[in-house]
Amino acid sequence: MVELRSVRNGVATIVYRAEGEGPPVMVIASTGRGTEEFGPLSRSLAGRGFRVLRPEPRGIGGSTGPMDGVSFHDFADDFAAVIRAEGGGPAIAAGHAYGNWIARTIATDHPGLVRGVVLVAAGARSMPKELSATIDVIADPAAPEERRLAGLRWAFFAEGSDPRPWLGGWHADVTASQRAARGRSRRYAGSVPVLDLQADADPFRPPESRDELRAEFGDRLTVQVIAGASHALPAEKPDAVADAIAGWAERLPA
């Protein structure tokens, strides 16, 4: 059963879905998107004995709050309030793509609330500029559908996956707010274990970048690559992502 809940963080109100019973796992969405599309991943994690939390960012799904002049730290405070409302964790914070930065920031700013961070299809340090331009086309409902689908197939979905569900669900105002927040934010990941969960066909994370975070995280980093998926990894392979998170979580300190 999925429960719809909300919590206040100062002037912000954050709506979130909660499902399952057990240690908490928070799933954080990518740029300009909400977490409704992660229903299959949530069910899969709940079936493996986790309490899955899916907070919506400001501007999506009933979540509200200032969107100008904010930073990753404000967004991290929003989601930390969700963890506290659910008993204080500590939780695993799993951020998809852009969401990895928010997961990392929660671990930095609220270390007592996080026991591990999962980077789900996080981009490499250096990526082709055309990827960002492609996202702008994909997210533009006025752009020709075939052009948008071509962009989704190139940037987000592996061969054999259906990109059509991602023609919708884009929020331009949220994307603008989240992009602007980058320049006001520090980028760390606390001191907890980190799972770098990559997709083998993700253009945002080419093979030569597989171990590029090793120097930053050292022995607390685990790298795992999932086959047959691209940048939309948690939507393409929800069971494989759930398996990877569950297996890694078993090895985390209590």
| Percentage of the chain modeled with pLDDT above 90 | 89
pLDDT at residue 253, rounded to an integer: 81
Q: Using pLDDT thresholds of 50, 70 and 90, give the confidence band for residue 32.
A: very high
Q: Taking all residues of the chain, what is their mean pLDDT, rounded to a whole number? A: 95
On the question of pLDDT at 47 being above 80, the answer is yes
Residue 93 φ then ψ, to 5°: -105, 115
Q: What is the model's pLDDT at position 235?
A: 96
Q: How much is the pTM?
A: 0.95
Place 132 in a pLDDT band, splitting at 50, 70 and 90. confident
What pLDDT digit, counting tens, does each position of 186-235 carry? 767 789 999 999 999 999 999 999 999 998 899 999 999 999 999 999 99
Burial 72-93 (b: 16+ CB within 10 A, else e): bbbbbbbbbbbbebbeebbbbb
